[in-house]
C-alpha cells in the first residue's frame, strides 16, 4: 500500500472476481471512515465472508473530504439524548482499537483536554444545533461548562490580558486522532482481511432479479469499463454526497434523504511550542470566539501538528467530487491570522508557525441535527424490493456533522449489526428516517 492507498487492489478485484456461492453480497458506497469502519466490523464479525464485501469510492483521491481533512476530536459525552449511546460506544471502541493496534504511533491516538477560551470582548455564543451553522462553538453545544478549572491550557497558546480559560472536559472523556491516518489504517485492515475495494469507481445503476429484488450494482471504473457486482445488501454512506447517490440509484423513490453539506476550511500548522515533549502530556482542544459567526477550534495532534478550523459556509455548493473542491484563499488567510493571534510568539513580526496543509471539506449535516442510521423500507425504494434480513436490505449512514470522526467506529459497528440483523450495541432508535 503506497502512501496508505492500495496500488493494484482494485484492478485485482475486478480481474479475479467471481460470483460467490452465497446469496448475499454487501456493497458499501463510500470508502470514507464510516464506510471503512462498517466494512471492518462486518469482516471481523464472523457472520459475513470478507470477500463478499465491496467498498465503492468515486473520488480519485481516498479520504479527500471530511474523513481526511477534519479535526479528529473525540468525545465520550458531548452529545444529546438521541446520540448519547452512539457517542459513548464509539469513544469506547476508539480506545479499544488504539490499545489493540498501538493507535498512538499508528494514527496519533492520544488523550486530550478540552479548554474554552473566552476573550474579554466576546461573551456567549450560538448554542444548540444552530452553533454549527451560525459559527458558534461546539463547546457551547456540549453544555458542560460546570467543569470550570484554573487558568490552565496548552503551551502553544498565546496568553493575553483579559482572556479567561475554562477546563470543559473531565479526565479521560476526550481524545484526539489523526483522521486520515485512522482511515488509512481501517482500509488497510479491511483489504488484508479480504474486503474488495473498487476505486475510483462510480455507482451507475441498480439491477433487479426476476423477482424484482435487488441483486446487483453496476459501477463504472475510471477506465470507462462497466462492471456488475452482486449486491443484496447495500449501504450508502457517502458523506455529504449520500443524498445524491440515493437519488441517482433510486430515482423513483418517494423520499428525499434530509442530508445537505456544510463546507469548512481548515489549516494545519507546526509550532516550536508543540513538540514531542509536550505530546507526552497529552493533546489539547481549544474552543474560542473571535467574532460573531466565527468560533475557531484548535486541536493539537500527535506528530507536531496543530489543526485550526471554524470557518463554515453553508452556501458553498457541493462539488461533483471531493477533489473538485476549490479552496477560498481569503478564508485561509483569516485562519492564518487566527493562528498568529492565538499561537504566534509574542514580539515577533514574522510568524514562526509552519503551514503544513490548507484544507476544505464538506461535512454532511441533517435538518434535525442528528445523523441517519437507518434501514430504508422496501416501499420507499421506488419499485425495488430486497431479500429478507439479514440476506438483503438498503441502509443509510450519514449526517454526523462535526462528529463524524468521533462517532465513526460506533456507527460502523452499529451499521454492521443492523445489516447482519443482530442486536445493535447502542440505542439508535431516534436516528431513523422519521
Q: Is residue 413 part of a domain?
A: yes
Closest by alpha carbon to 340, among 160, 210, 184? 160
**How high is the pLDDT of residue 74?**
98
Please tell me the predicted confidence (pLDDT) of residue 152: 59
In a domain, 165, yes or no: yes
Provide the CATH number for the domain around residue 282.
3.30.9
pTM of the model: 0.90
Shared-domain flag, residues 426 and 279? no
Query: Is 297 a member of any domain?
Result: yes
Same domain, 409 and 427: yes
| Residue span of the structural domain in which 122 resides | 110-174+260-366
Instruction: Indicate if 358 and 266 belong to the same structural domain.
Output: yes
Indicate whether 416 and 319 sit together in one domain.
no
CA 216 to chain centre: 27
User: Does 133 share its domain with 224?
Assistant: no
Q: Is the same domain home to 360 and 382?
A: no
Q: How far apart are CA 289 and CA 413, in angstroms?
A: 35
Residue 160: per-residue pLDDT: 73
What is the domain count for the chain?
A: 2
* pLDDT tens across the length of the chain (434 residues): 444 344 344 444 433 344 333 578 999 999 999 999 999 999 999 999 999 999 999 999 999 999 999 999 999 999 999 999 999 999 999 999 999 999 999 999 999 999 988 764 444 444 434 445 455 555 554 443 333 344 457 889 987 767 778 888 877 899 999 999 999 999 999 999 999 999 999 999 999 999 999 999 999 998 899 999 999 999 999 999 999 999 999 999 999 999 999 999 999 999 999 999 999 989 999 999 877 678 899 999 999 999 999 989 989 999 999 999 999 999 999 999 999 999 988 655 568 999 999 999 999 999 999 999 999 999 999 999 999 889 999 999 999 999 999 999 999 999 999 999 999 999 999 999 98
Are 255 and 266 part of one and the same domain? Answer: no
- Sign of the dihedral through C-alpha 29, 31, 34, 37: positive
Domain end point (choices 349, 366, 383): 366
Does the residue 17 lie in any domain?
no
Q: Are residues 201 and 341 in the same domain?
A: no
Q: Are residues 197 and 122 in the same domain?
A: no
| Residue finishing a domain among 312, 347, 366 | 366
Q: Does residue 300 share a domain with residue 208?
A: no
Helix (H, G, I), strand (E, B) or coil at 106: helix
CA dihedral (35, 91, 431, 44) positive or negative: positive
Distance CA 228, CA 145 (A): 53
Is 219 contained in some domain? Answer: yes
Q: Tell me, what CATH number does 31's domain have?
A: 3.50.50.60
Residues 285 and 165 in one domain: yes
In a domain, 252, yes or no: yes
Residue pair 287/75 in contact by the 8 Å Cβ criterion: no
pLDDT of residue 134: 52
CA dihedral 57, 58, 60, 62 (to 10 degrees): -30
Task: Name the one residue in this structure whose C-alpha cell is 489543526.
Answer: 307
pLDDT score for 139: 54
- Last-in-domain residue among 366, 396, 417: 366
Are residue 209 and residue 220 in the same domain, yes or no?
yes
Is 87 within a domain? no
- Measured CA to CA, the distance from residue 125 to residue 193 in angstroms comes to 47
Within-domain flag for 94: no
Amino acid at each position: 500500500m503506497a502512501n496508505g492507498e492500495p496500488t493494484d487492489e482494485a484492478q485485482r478485484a475486478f480481474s479475479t472476481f467471481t460470483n460467490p456461492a452465497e446469496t448475499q453480497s454487501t456493497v458499501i458506497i463510500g470508502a470514507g471512515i464510516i464506510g471503512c469502519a462498517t466494512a471492518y466490523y462486518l469482516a471481523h464479525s464472523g457472520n459475513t465472508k470478507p470477500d463478499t464485501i465491496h467498498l465503492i469510492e468515486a473520488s480519485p483521491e481516498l479520504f479527500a473530504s471530511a474523513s481526511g481533512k477534519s479535526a479528529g476530536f473525540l468525545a465520550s459525552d458531548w452529545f444529546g439524548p438521541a446520540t448519547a449511546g452512539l457517542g459513548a460506544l464509539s469513544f469506547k471502541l476508539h480506545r479499544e482499537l488504539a490499545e489493540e493496534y498501538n493507535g498512538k504511533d499508528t494514527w496519533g491516538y492520544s488523550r486530550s483536554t478540552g479548554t474554552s477560551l473566552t476573550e474579554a470582548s466576546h461573551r456567549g455564543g450560538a448554542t444548540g444545533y444552530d452553533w454549527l451553522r451560525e459559527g458558534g462553538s461546539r463547546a457551547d453545544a456540549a453544555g458542560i461548562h460546570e467543569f470550570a478549572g484554573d487558568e490552565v491550557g496548552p503551551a502553544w497558546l498565546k496568553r493575553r490580558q483579559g482572556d479567561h480559560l475554562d477546563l470543559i472536559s473531565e479526565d479521560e472523556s476526550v481524545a484526539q486522532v489523526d483522521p486520515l491516518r485512522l482511515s488509512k489504517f481501517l482500509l488497510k485492515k479491511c483489504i488484508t482481511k479480504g474486503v474488495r475495494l473498487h476505486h475510483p469507481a462510480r455507482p451507475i445503476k441498480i439491477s433487479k432479479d426476476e423477482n424484482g429484488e435487488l441483486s446487483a450494482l453496476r459501477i463504472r471504473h475510471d477506465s470507462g469499463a462497466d462492471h456488475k457486482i452482486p449486491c443484496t445488501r447495500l449501504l450508502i454512506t457517502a458523506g455529504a454526497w449520500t443524498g445524491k447517490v440515493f437519488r441517482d440509484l433510486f430515482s423513483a423513490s418517494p423520499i428525499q434523504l434530509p442530508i445537505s453539506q456544510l463546507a469548512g476550511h481548515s489549516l494545519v500548522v507546526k509550532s516550536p511550542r508543540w513538540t514531542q515533549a509536550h505530546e507526552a502530556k497529552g493533546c489539547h482542544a481549544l474552543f474560542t470566539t473571535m467574532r460573531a459567526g466565527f468560533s475557531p477550534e484548535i486541536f493539537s495532534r500527535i506528530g507536531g501538528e496543530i489543526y485550526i478550523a471554524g470557518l463554515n459556509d453553508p452556501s458553498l455548493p457541493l462539488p461533483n467530487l471531493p477533489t473538485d473542491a476549490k479552496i477560498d484563499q481569503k478564508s485561509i488567510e483569516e485562519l492564518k491570522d487566527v493562528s498568529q493571534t492565538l499561537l504566534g510568539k509574542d514580539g515577533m513580526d514574522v510568524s514562526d508557525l509552519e503551514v503544513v496543509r490548507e484544507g476544505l471539506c464538506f461535512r454532511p449535516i441533517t435538518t434535525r441535527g442528528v445523523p441517519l442510521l437507518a434501514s430504508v423500507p422496501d416501499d420507499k425504494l421506488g419499485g425495488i424490493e430486497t431479500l429478507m434480513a439479514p440476506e438483503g436490505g438498503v441502509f443509510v449512514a450519514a449526517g454526523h456533522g462535526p462528529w463524524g470522526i468521533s462517532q465513526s467506529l460506533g456507527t460502523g459497528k452499529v451499521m454492521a449489526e443492523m445489516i447482519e440483523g443482530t442486536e445493535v450495541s447502542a440505542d439508535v432508535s431516534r436516528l431513523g428516517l422519521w
